[in-house]
């Protein structure tokens, strides 16, 4: 009996020691390794998704100038309904939309468009419609719950789009974006795309006396990566005011009022660890997505470059940042469809 009691005490002591060891907070080096592994995993999953392919489409030869002549306002209620891709044969008097591309097949408070995936992933087939494509299955669905497009001759604009996308009845993701501009120079924007796995990529910004650009990757409500840049001026005259890079629970900050680059772990300033920002050359687009790297120095004196830690994710990271900046998909797919419906119905 006594032996059993002693054995139990020893086991409990060992378990207690193991739990206390496990509960120890991670060091800066361990945190960086864990956080960059999460980033690499996230972008690996994103890169293999249809949502990533959809966001990444760029194709020469589409009718890129059709928005240039548009000085009107389109609200969701003007184009709401259920539409199927079914090209007509009649020719309305419009240079950019010579044929009706979509037939209204039902009523809805949303804008729901059914079309072949070929027209989405290869936009030239949408912009230069081949009516034989009407035999293809309408297996791609755009379902917009909010849409507004306003633009005038004074370059004032207001834009909003909230939409879900499915292909072959499988969810692809959700897009939420807005932008407002005055005289084409001062304004703000936000572009978010959420993948079915719960990952969200975000790009937002503000322009004016101080400009701000943010790019982020989140999993549900947790920020895995976020880069924030604040600066004065434009183009080559740009002067950096604040740079902040968050890698999970690690923050790297450089500002005009800070003597050196500061590194925080869980909000606590690290005294012996440090970071160095490396720019390939002085460029106003400096970002980890473009010509910027971070050299980290840990408490034990070892170093690591961020570009090497997230090298598996780098191509996808750069591609998504550019895709969200240009948002080719919303302009050349969703807007083109909305304008086509608007011009052929009014």
Read off the pLDDT band of 89 (50, 70, 90).
confident
Task: Write down the domain spans for the chain.
Answer: 41-345
pLDDT of residue 88: 80
What is the Cα–Cα distance from 319 to 329, expressed in whole angstroms?
14
What is the Cα–Cα distance from 8 to 222, expressed in whole angstroms?
40
What is the Cα–Cα distance from 14 to 12, expressed in whole angstroms?
5
pLDDT of residue 250: 97
What is the Cα–Cα distance from 98 to 62, expressed in whole angstroms?
14
Place of tokens 């936009």: 123
What is the Cα–Cα distance from 212 to 85, expressed in whole angstroms?
40
pLDDT of residue 334: 94
For residue 13, pLDDT beyond 50: no
Bigger pLDDT: 17 or 123? Answer: 123
**Percentage of residues in the chain having pLDDT higher than 70:** 81
pLDDT of residue 65: 55
Give me the mean pLDDT over the 148-174 stretch. 89
Q: What is the pTM of this model?
A: 0.86
pLDDT of residue 64: 55
pLDDT of residue 144: 98
For residue 222, pLDDT beyond 80: yes
Here the contacts of 114-119 (C-beta below 8 Å, separation 24 or greater) are 114/82, 114/83, 114/84, 114/85, 114/138, 114/140, 114/141, 115/84, 115/85, 115/140, 115/142, 115/337, 116/85, 116/140, 117/167, 119/85
Structural tokens at position 241:
């005011």
Read off the pLDDT band of 319 (50, 70, 90).
very high
For residue 346, pLDDT beyond 70: no
Read off the pLDDT band of 208 (50, 70, 90).
confident
State the chain's mean pLDDT as an integer. Answer: 85
pLDDT of residue 237: 63
Burial 225-254 (b: 16+ CB within 10 A, else e): bbbbbbbeeeeeebebbbbbbbbbbbbbbb
For residue 213, pLDDT beyond 70: yes
Structural tokens at position 167:
């292909």
pLDDT of residue 224: 98
pLDDT of residue 3: 46
For residue 167, pLDDT beyond 60: yes
Structural tokens at position 128:
């230069």
pLDDT in tens, 120-147: 999 888 888 877 788 899 999 999 999 9
Lowest mean pLDDT: which of 77-81, 148-152, 281-285?
281-285
**Which DSSP letter does residue 27 get?**
P
Give me the mean pLDDT over the 34-63 stretch. 90
For residue 154, pLDDT beyond 70: no
Read off the pLDDT band of 15 (50, 70, 90).
very low
Listed in sequence order, the residues at least 6 apart from 30 whose beta carbon sits closer than 8 Å to its beta carbon are none
For residue 200, pLDDT beyond 60: yes
């Amino acid at each position: 009996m006594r032996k059993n009691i002693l054995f139990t005490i020893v086991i409990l002591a060992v378990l207690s020691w193991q739990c206390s060891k496990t509960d120890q907070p991670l060091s800066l080096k361990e945190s960086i390794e864990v956080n960059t592994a999460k980033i690499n995993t996230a972008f690996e999953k994103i890169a293999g998704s249809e949502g990533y392919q959809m966001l990444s489409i760029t194709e020469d030869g589409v009718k890129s100038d059709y928005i240039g002549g548009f000085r009107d306002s389109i609200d969701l209620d003007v184009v709401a309904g259920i539409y199927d891709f079914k090209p007509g044969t009649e020719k309305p008097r419009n240079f950019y939309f010579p044929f009706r591309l979509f037939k209204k097949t039902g009523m809805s408070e949303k804008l729901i468009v059914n079309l072949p995936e070929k027209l989405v992933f290869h936009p030239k087939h949408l912009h230069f419609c081949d009516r034989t494509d009407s035999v293809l299955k309408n297996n791609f669905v755009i379902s917009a719950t909010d849409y507004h497009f306003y633009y005038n001759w004074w370059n004032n604009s207001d834009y909003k789009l909230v939409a879900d996308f499915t292909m072959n009845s499988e969810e692809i993701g959700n897009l939420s974006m807005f932008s407002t501009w005055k005289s084409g120079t001062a304004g703000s924007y936000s572009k978010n795309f959420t993948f079915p796995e719960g990952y969200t990529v975000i790009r937002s910004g503000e322009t004016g006396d101080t400009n701000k650009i943010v790019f982020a990757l989140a999993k549900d409500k947790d920020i895995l990566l976020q880069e924030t840049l604040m600066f004065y001026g434009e183009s080559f005259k740009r002067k950096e005011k604040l740079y902040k890079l968050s890698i999970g629970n690690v923050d790297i900050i450089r500002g005009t009022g800070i003597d050196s680059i500061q590194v925080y772990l869980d909000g606590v300033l690290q005294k012996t660890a440090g970071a160095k920002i490396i720019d390939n050359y002085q460029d106003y687009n400096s970002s980890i997505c473009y010509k910027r790297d971070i050299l980290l120095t840990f408490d034990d004196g070892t170093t690591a470059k961020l570009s090497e830690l997230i090298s598996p994710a780098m191509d996808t990271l750069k591609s998504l940042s550019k895709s969200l900046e240009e948002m080719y998909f919303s302009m050349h797919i969703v807007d083109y469809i909305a304008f086509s419906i608007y011009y052929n119905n009014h």
